[in-house]
Chain A
Amino acid sequence: MSMTRRDFLGKAGIAGAAALAGSSVAQAQEYFPGWPDRYGVLNDCTLCIGCRRCEEACNRVNGNPPPPIPLEDKSIFNRIRRTDARNFTVVNGFPNPDHDKPLIYVKKQCMHCNEPACASACLVSAFSKTAAGAVLYNSKVCIGCRYCMAACPFYVPSYEYDSPYTPRVVKCTLCYDRITRDGKLPGCVEVCPVEALTFGKRSDLIRIARERIMKNSDKYLDQIYGEHEVGGTSWMYLSPVPFDKIGFRTDLGVTPYPELTRGFLSSVPLVLTLWPVLFTGVYMFSKRREEIAKEGDKPAKRQENKS
């Protein structure tokens, strides 16, 4: 069915007006506030007593063997541990700058970042930030390149290097099934005897944290670690002392990790589009020069033949 010119102009006009109207609502700069009701955990390091029952609970819930070093063995705090393939969380102890006070204990596990580096790094999209806030891993597509491990600024993911046929990347899952399907708390939060861990909506946790800081300003450092670091994380911390004294990196910045490669990735389609035209041009140019050079020989040769 053909369209008259009037019809076309009319339709184009409407489309144009709609586009303009739409653009008045569009933002000048993108902003991604994240899943609105996502959960998180607030870890109050002023309350933690280093009993390590969270490690025990975590291992039990995830089907890992119990922590290899018994909970009573306090010499474990003489060194700094990291998570590994069979221990998705560890508690480390740090000397208190105020020497009269006991060690400050810090539970370490996946931070469940708002914009996870592991998800950005994964070439098969094996990681995803769920609406519940947990960053989950899909072992069905993972090829085992371990780029996620190289990318994670918190040194969280571990690898089952001793598995020849089914090695997986493993880490804390925020007890995803327990919190979404079973209506329970994460294993570590549930078992903590001093309620150092608080589970709830991330937005609520920030409010709770600010209140604690306001009410006990001499007890807390005025900072919530994870509120802005690397674009914000679901797992956040309160501390009595500066965070770099208790094993945290304070030089990670606030840029979400996907932003770090965004510039390079954006240049790729540009190269894919411009390079063919550019190099076809180069080829045509040099071919033409060659032809001209050949033609330049011919009249000279003809002259030679004549004379």
Chain B
Amino acid sequence: MTVMTRPQASIRDQLTDKLFLGMTPGEYIKKQITPFNIVAALILAVGIPITFVRFTQGLAATTNLTDNYPWGLWIGVDVLCGVALAAGGFTLGSAVYLFGMKEYHAIVRPAVLTGLLGYFFVVIGLSFDLGRPWRLPYPMLVSYGTTSVMFLVGWHVALYLSCQFVEFCPAIFEWLGWKTLRKWAVRVTIGATIFGVILSTLHQSALGALFLLTPGKLHPLWYTPFLPIFFLASAIIGGMTMVIFESMFSHRVFSRQIGHHEHENFDRLTLGLGKAAAAALFAYFTLKWIGVAHGQHWDLLNTPLGYWFLVEVIGFVLIPCFIFVWAVRRESAAWVRFAAIYTVIGIILNRVNVSIIAFNWNLPDRYFPKWTEFVVTITIITVGILTFRWIVNRMPVLWEHPDYPSEYERG
């Protein structure tokens, strides 16, 4: 399945190898006709025209946003969830490169790739939501709103994207066979990882800090000065559980790329991540209750939104925590994976609660996304998965490039 270029191959041969995996264009296209690809094509067939409508007719035509609800699905899910679930890059990067947990080395690269693509497609999603997306560079280059948490989010996401790209560069250069550049990229990995951890701490918590400016609008059970810490904690949880989730699919879909010993090792790594997730969920659960105590709104628990808060905190934080504990104790990687998916849903629920459901809780009018908003979100996720697959099928992400085996120690 994997093809390597001989150094003397012609440019055309190299292109064929790199782009068409060694097949002729005709052969390659025939291979693309799979059920998944047909579904993806259908999604794109709807998504691309809607994209055209969005950028020619504006937000009113393609969203249900109002003056009372300036933020909807694209911010609540595409941006807030996307960033939280792409946190695997910095979580695993720091585990392997900074804390020296080398046993996780095999899953660092897919995690970094998930992080890189996750943030990249968050920026794409954001471009759909912004009123003037071509002005996205303005807070970096034109006018500086230093009092704004959003200013930090913008800067950090931009810098972090570059950081994740640098961390992924070794894989790209190995694919292209550019040895000198690859050496440089490996040398700066540690620095990039440290920089990435700093940026991630800041922007994951900054996304929560955005809502510090909305005390009158966000329901008191969710509004707390601890919001930045909550978002950081749930992002770390989201990162780890997404890595479990993504590696589960990668190992099935790309199983031919992965060596036998990796398959054996894989369950052990899954269990390890499950253990970490359990501990983090337990701490996060406690933090949520500290937040309630701080605000002294215990009475609000006995209201419809109060019950919803309990659903989120007990149903989607405590219970997955218990499932992780149970699964780890009986060494069931399958149950760890189930708990991971469950947790990911819980994090999405939390972000949607903060930005949409518990937001404007005092107002009688509610917001529900237009179908076009769902289409755009699903399209972006689909393109993200397709990109992930394209890269993993070509670059040494799930396997080690034979030209560079001994350098797979740290740094």
Q: List residues of A whose CB falls within 8 A of some B CB.
A: 82-85, 117, 119-126, 141-147, 149-151, 153, 155, 157-159, 161-167, 249, 251-253, 257-258, 260-261, 263-265, 268, 271-272, 275-276, 279-280, 282-283, 286-287, 289-290
Assembled-state Cα–Cα distance A84/B270 (Å)? 52
Whether B68 contacts A155 by the Cβ 8 Å rule is: yes
Whether A161 contacts B59 by the Cβ 8 Å rule is: yes
Asked whether A143 and B144 contact (CB < 8 A) given A263-B225, A279-B98, the answer is no
Which residues on the A side are within 8 Å of B283 (C-beta)? none
Whether A260 contacts B215 by the Cβ 8 Å rule is: yes
Assembled-state Cα–Cα distance A117/B67 (Å)? 16
Which residues on the B side are within 8 Å of A271 (C-beta)? 198, 201-202
The total of chain B residues at the interface (CB under 8 A) is 60
Which residues on the B side are within 8 Å of A258 (C-beta)? 147
Q: Decide yes or no whether B309 CB sits under 8 A from chain A.
A: no
Of B205-213, B257-265, B294-302, B318-326, the stretch lying at the interface with chain A is: B205-213
Which residues on the A side are within 8 Å of B214 (C-beta)? 150-151
B56, B135, B143, B152: the one within 8 Å of A164 (CB):
B56
Q: Decide yes or no whether B216 CB sits under 8 A from chain A.
A: yes
Assembled-state Cα–Cα distance A125/B228 (Å)? 22
Assembled-state Cα–Cα distance A47/B195 (Å)? 61
CB distance from A178 to the nearest CB of B (A): 25
CB distance from A124 to the nearest CB of B (A): 4
Which residues on the A side are within 8 Å of B98 (C-beta)? 279, 282-283, 286
Assembled-state Cα–Cα distance A143/B202 (Å)? 22
Whether A264 contacts B60 by the Cβ 8 Å rule is: no
B135-157 to A contact mask, C-beta < 8 Å, 1/0:
11011001111111111111000
A119, A167, A251, A289: the one within 8 Å of B131 (CB):
A167
Which residues on the A side are within 8 Å of B225 (C-beta)? 263
Whether A286 contacts B198 by the Cβ 8 Å rule is: no
Assembled-state Cα–Cα distance A143/B136 (Å)? 6
B61, B139, B216: the one within 8 Å of A252 (CB):
B216
Asked whether A120 and B131 contact (CB < 8 A) given A143-B138, A162-B58, A282-B99, the answer is no
A123, A150, A167, A253: the one within 8 Å of B59 (CB):
A167
- For residue A167, which residue of chain B has the nearest CB? B131
- For residue A120, which residue of chain B has the nearest CB? B147
Whether A124 contacts B139 by the Cβ 8 Å rule is: yes
Asked whether A144 and B67 contact (CB < 8 A) given A279-B197, A280-B194, A286-B100, the answer is no
Asked whether A147 and B148 contact (CB < 8 A) given A252-B216, A261-B213, A286-B100, the answer is yes
Assembled-state Cα–Cα distance A157/B71 (Å)? 13
- For residue A124, which residue of chain B has the nearest CB? B143
CB distance from A10 to the nearest CB of B (A): 39
The B contact surface, by secondary structure, is: helix
B60, B132, B139: the one within 8 Å of A123 (CB):
B139
CB distance from A216 to the nearest CB of B (A): 31
A147, A161, A263: the one within 8 Å of B150 (CB):
A147
B348-361 to A contact mask, C-beta < 8 Å, 1/0:
00000000000000
Which residues on the A side are within 8 Å of B144 (C-beta)? 124-125
Q: Decide yes or no whether B94 CB sits under 8 A from chain A.
A: yes
Which residues on the B side are within 8 Å of A276 (C-beta)? 194-195, 198
Whether A158 contacts B67 by the Cβ 8 Å rule is: yes
CB distance from B127 to the nearest CB of A (A): 10
B57-89 to A contact mask, C-beta < 8 Å, 1/0:
111110101011011000000000000000000
Task: For the A-B complex with A165-B132, A276-B194 known, give 18 more contacts whose Cβ atoms are closer than 8 Å.
Answer: A120-B147, A120-B148, A121-B149, A122-B148, A123-B150, A124-B142, A126-B143, A126-B145, A143-B130, A145-B130, A145-B131, A151-B213, A162-B60, A249-B216, A279-B94, A279-B98, A279-B198, A283-B100
CB distance from A169 to the nearest CB of B (A): 8
What are 29 A-B contacts defined by CB distance under 8 Å? Answer: A82-B67, A121-B148, A122-B150, A123-B139, A124-B151, A144-B130, A144-B131, A144-B133, A147-B210, A150-B217, A158-B67, A159-B67, A159-B131, A161-B60, A162-B59, A164-B57, A258-B147, A260-B215, A261-B147, A261-B213, A264-B205, A264-B206, A268-B202, A271-B201, A282-B98, A283-B194, A286-B98, A287-B100, A290-B100
Instruction: List 5 A-B pairs, minimum CB-CB distance, nearest first.
Output: A144-B131, A286-B100, A164-B58, A146-B70, A149-B70
Assembled-state Cα–Cα distance A260/B132 (Å)? 28
Asked whether A124 and B213 contact (CB < 8 A) given A83-B67, A282-B99, A283-B97, the answer is no
Most chain-B CB neighbours within 10 Å: which of A122, A126, A289? A122
CB distance from B72 to the nearest CB of A (A): 10
Which residues on the B side are within 8 Å of A253 (C-beta)? 215
Assembled-state Cα–Cα distance A207/B56 (Å)? 52
Whether B213 contacts A121 by the Cβ 8 Å rule is: yes
Which residues on the B side are within 8 Å of A159 (C-beta)? 59, 65, 67, 70, 131
Assembled-state Cα–Cα distance A155/B66 (Å)? 11
A144, A251, A265: the one within 8 Å of B216 (CB):
A251
